[in-house]
Amino acid sequence: QSALTQPASVSGSPGQSITISCTGTSSDVGGYNYVSWYQQHPGKAPKLMIYEVSNRPSGVSNRFSGSKSGNTASLTISGLQAEDEADYYCSSYTSRVVFGGGTKLTVL
């Protein structure tokens, strides 16, 4: 059982927006602004998409955005594209680095 809770799957049509939630506790997500999001395509290494709740690394599309409210962080992808179909993982920190269980995004 993962320390952070994510929905197992989400889906959306091209051009739409989707949001993936990541729920933790006041000891991790709620306690620090250290939430990251990673995208992983099959057979590939994860890629950093969002760090410190809402910051995008250089080169990541501005269609990806992050936010946090209380103990829940969210990743929003706007203008869905076929290439966004992947697994997404959130991460935070308590006394250790913790990941969510992952969310499979399907672009219909």
User: Of the ranges 10-18, 51-59, 65-73, 76-84, which one interacts with other proteins (CB under 8 A)?
Assistant: 51-59
Question: Looking at 17, 41, 97, 108, which residue binds other proteins (CB under 8 A)?
Answer: 97
User: Of the ranges 14-22, 47-55, 65-73, 76-84, which one interacts with other proteins (CB under 8 A)?
Assistant: 47-55
Q: What is the CA radius of gyration of the chain?
A: 13
C-alpha of 46 from chain center: 11
**What distances in angstroms separate CA 74 from CA 20, 35, 37, 58, one per listed residue?**
6, 9, 9, 20
Strand partners, 86: 105
**Which residues contribute to the site for other proteins (CB under 8 A)?**
2, 34-36, 38, 45-48, 51-52, 57, 89, 91-93, 95-102
